[in-house]
Amino acid sequence: MQNIADNESYGFGVRVLVEGTWGFAASNLATRDEVARVAEQAVLIARANKILSREPVELAPVPAYVDEWKTAITTDPFTIPIKDKVDLLLRINSEALKVKGASFCSSQMLMAREEKYYASTDGSAIRQTLIRMWPTFTVTSVNSQTGRFESRNSLTEPIGRGYECVDEKFLLEDVRLAAEEATMKHSAKPVEPGKRDLILHPTNLWLTIHESVGHPTELDRALGYEANYAGTSFLTTDKLGKLKFASDIVNFVADKTQPGGLATCGYDDDGVKTKEWHLVKDGMFVDYQTIRDQAHLIGQKESDGCCYADSWSSIPFQRMPNVSLQPGKKTLLLGDLIADTEDAIMVKGRGSYSIDHQRYNFQFGGQTYWEIKNGKITGMLRDVAYQAKTPEFWNACDAICSREEYYLGGSFNDGKGEPGQSNAVSHGCTPARFRQINILNTGRKV
């Protein structure tokens, strides 16, 4: 064991609106006098901010809620003895090293719990407990003759559930397969660059959704509020309701109520009850993600409930909800999709990526790459990356598997804002096919 960490913080933040300008202050000393002092400080900050304010903040109305909400779990991960967790991780490592060619394995288990209380002058008093869990590993194979090393990560993703999501059988089976596939990579055939059909497994596709759909539909990015750090968006407001973002079969739903979603909660940090809504409907770009002080900017009457602060000491602002590609309407399994494909590359697992600040031009890799010829997987490839422009890529989607293949991926840490904050968010999808996408060879000379 290299590390066991247990971190906890406790405190409160006060957000005020003074003459149409926000102010915020926080403290870890929760006494009556300190609350009064921090509230006064927040007011002073708001008055100082007014000098830079161009127009007053306008808040969409919200009902008052008195409620309690908790992530639906069976087993609290913080009640499981550390020894039990360590024993499982060591078994995962041991299982990987039974495979010939596997050199080492590192495994870890991450878990988080947020206990939040929100009170507002609108009359809301809301308690929430949010729990997230992520068991994962990486297996590495070193070829002593060439000096090359190859690796394959776990196909598990973080999820908004309790310890019941730790599937010991799957983890042990996946780590054996990961060790075999990491070893296979040494002899895999280098990919020939050029235009190829592409089948993206949901273990890879979720990250492409995150970067090319989730981020550009954030309204604050589209308005330029995040330009200094996170970038802007090619989905400017003049394109709302007019841009053919994707092919007719593509539908993206934003959702903060999805079971298991990392961004799922009962209420956001504006006190807005969460919901689901379309960002892209039948291929058309139809909506953004908003919070209370943004809704009026695009003519909407209510917030989408996307306000979030990663700590009591952080000011809440617009963060990504769960954004998911809806399954195809006709029954289509992955095996059927492969059988229906003449010449393609299938990509599995999250890999490296690069995308511009407008979220328009991108390049993605993966964990493993499989060549498909005449409806069958014929072998492993290596050194693969796919490159495209966001609307061209999604308009090239001609097949989406049905709900039987649905998979919920996601990120434990999505950075945004200055000072930076971290948000956890999920993206569901099924395998999908994209026609004639540019394939690159990222090969290294040895």
Number of neighbours of residue 228 by Cβ within 10 angstroms: 8
Which portions of the chain are predicted below pLDDT 50?
Answer: 446
Cα(285)–Cα(287) distance, rounded to whole angstroms? 6
Query: In this predicted model, what pLDDT tens digit does every residue of 174-205 receive, in sequence order?
Result: 999 999 999 999 999 999 999 999 999 999 99
Cα(8)–Cα(10) distance, rounded to whole angstroms? 7
208 backbone φψ class: left, alpha, beta (φ>0; ψ -120 to 50):
alpha
Cα(131)–Cα(323) distance, rounded to whole angstroms? 19
Burial of 106 (C-beta count, 10 Å sphere; 0-12/13-18/19+): middle
CA distance readout (Å), 116 to 10, 317, 398: 10, 16, 43
Phi, psi of 224 (to 5 degrees): 90, 5
pLDDT score for 229:
85
Cα(111)–Cα(158) distance, rounded to whole angstroms? 9
pTM of structure? 0.96
pLDDT score for 444:
59
pLDDT score for 443:
86
Cα(113)–Cα(130) distance, rounded to whole angstroms? 6
Burial of 237 (C-beta count, 10 Å sphere; 0-12/13-18/19+): middle
Scan for tokens 């990579």, then name that residue: 185
pLDDT score for 278:
98
